[in-house]
A = this chain, B = another copy of it.
Amino acid sequence: MAKKVVTFGEVMLRLAPEGYTRFVQADTFGATYGGGEANVAVSLANYGLDASFVTKLPKHEIGQAAVNSLRKFGVNTSHITRGGEKVGIYFLEKGASQRPSKVIYDRAGSAIATAKSEDFNWDEIFQDVDWFHFTGITPALGDDVADICIEACKKAKEKNITISCDLNYRNKLWSKEKASKVMGEICKYVDVCIANEEDASDVFGIKAKDTDVTTGEVNHEGYKEVAKELMNRFSFTHVAITLRESISANDNNWSAMLYDGNDYFFSKKYAMRIVDRVGGGDSFGGGLITAILDEKSPQDVIEFAVAASCLKHSIEGDYNMVSKDEVLKLAGGDGSGRVQR
C-alpha cells in the first residue's frame, strides 16, 4: 500500500520562450504548469506514492489545464477547490552562459492567493495521510493563506502526520521581516526543514560563513553551522540543505547535506550541464520525502534526493519526470550518460 502525501500551495502557468530566446524575441511561449508543492507532488507520484495536491483553481479552461497537468502524472486532484478567477502566471526566460535566467511573476489575485479558510476541509484532506509538505511560498501568498497553512499544520500535528517545509524565500512576495515572523510561527510545527544556500539567511538571518553564492564556492563547515543553528531554534528532526555552485547559467555543481541532529551527511557532487534549472530544489524535496518514507539510511536519503534533483536539471519544465529506478541508477554511480537500448 503506497504511502499518502499531501502537498499544499500554488500551481502556476509557466510561460517560457523556446530555447534561449529572450522575452523581447518571443512570439511563442511554451505553456507548462508548476509551483513548489505541485512539483513535489508530481515527483512523489512518479516514485509510486499516493500524492495529493491541494490548491484552489478557477473553473475555466486554464484552471482545468492546470488540473490536467497534474492528473497526467497520477497526482490526486480531488481535493483541489474550484473557484476564483485567475491562475497565477510566471514568465521564465532561460539564461545561457553569463546571462542569467529571469522570472517575471504575475500571480497577484490568483485563486489560491485569495482563498479562504472554508475552501479547504483539512479533516477530510488528511484522512489516512502520512506526510504533509509545503514551502515558504504558500504562506507568502497572503495573510489568509498563511492562516490556512497554520491551520493545516495544526490539524496535521493532531493526526500525527509528518510535516516538511522548504523555506523557499521569495523577495517579490514578502519582506524578510514578514517572512521571519510568519515562518518562525510555522516552523514550530515542522519536522523536516529543507533550505537552499540562501534561504536560512534570508528568512532567519542564519548565514554560512565564507560562502559567496555568486562565485559558486561553498564551505561545508559553514553549512554545518547553519543546520545546527536551525535545529537549535526549532524542533526539526531533519535539516536538509542543497548546495549549488553556479559556474554559469549552463553549468552548476550540485550537492546537498543532511543533518539529523547527530551527524552531517554530505552527498556526492554532480557537475551538471543544465537543461532547465527551475524546480531543482523541489525535486530535491520530492526525493528526500520519498527516501525518508522508504526508511533509507541518512546517507542513502541524501544521495537519493541529490540524484533525483540532479536528473531534474536535465528535464524541461518544473516537474521532475524520472522514475525511482532512474534515480537509484544514478545514485548508484552511473552518470556516464551512455545510451540505454
Question: Interface residues, chain A, CB within 8 Å of chain B?
Answer: 15, 18-32, 60-62, 64-65, 68-69, 71-74, 85-87, 89, 91, 93, 95-106, 108-109, 170-172, 213-216, 246-251, 270-275, 277-278, 307, 310-311, 313-317, 321-322, 326, 330, 333-341
Contacts of A251 in B (CB 8 A): 273
Chain B's nearest CB lies how many Å from the CB of A212?
9
Nearest B-chain residue to A322, judged by Cβ: B99
Contacts of A100 in B (CB 8 A): 334, 336-340
Contacts of A26 in B (CB 8 A): 31, 65
- B214 touching A333, Cβ below 8 Å: yes
Give the oligomeric copy count: 6
Contacts of A341 in B (CB 8 A): 103, 105, 170-172
- A19 touching B315, Cβ below 8 Å: no
- B246 touching A336, Cβ below 8 Å: yes
Q: List 11 A-B contacts (CB under 8 A).
A: A23-B64, A28-B28, A28-B31, A96-B337, A100-B334, A100-B337, A103-B339, A172-B341, A246-B337, A249-B337, A250-B337
Nearest B-chain residue to A32, judged by Cβ: B27
Contacts of A249 in B (CB 8 A): 314, 337-338
Beyond known contacts A97-B310, A109-B109: 11 more, CB 8 A cutoff: A27-B30, A28-B31, A62-B104, A86-B108, A95-B339, A98-B272, A100-B334, A100-B336, A100-B337, A106-B106, A247-B336
- B316 touching A97, Cβ below 8 Å: no
Chain B's nearest CB lies how many Å from the CB of A245?
9
Contact of A216 with B27 at beta-carbon distance under 8 Å, contacts A60-B104, A272-B98, A314-B98 already known: no
Chain B's nearest CB lies how many Å from the CB of A196?
11
- A61 touching B102, Cβ below 8 Å: yes
- B28 touching A30, Cβ below 8 Å: yes
- B30 touching A334, Cβ below 8 Å: no
Contacts of A246 in B (CB 8 A): 336-338
Q: How far is the CA of A30 from the CA of B31 in the complex (A)?
A: 10
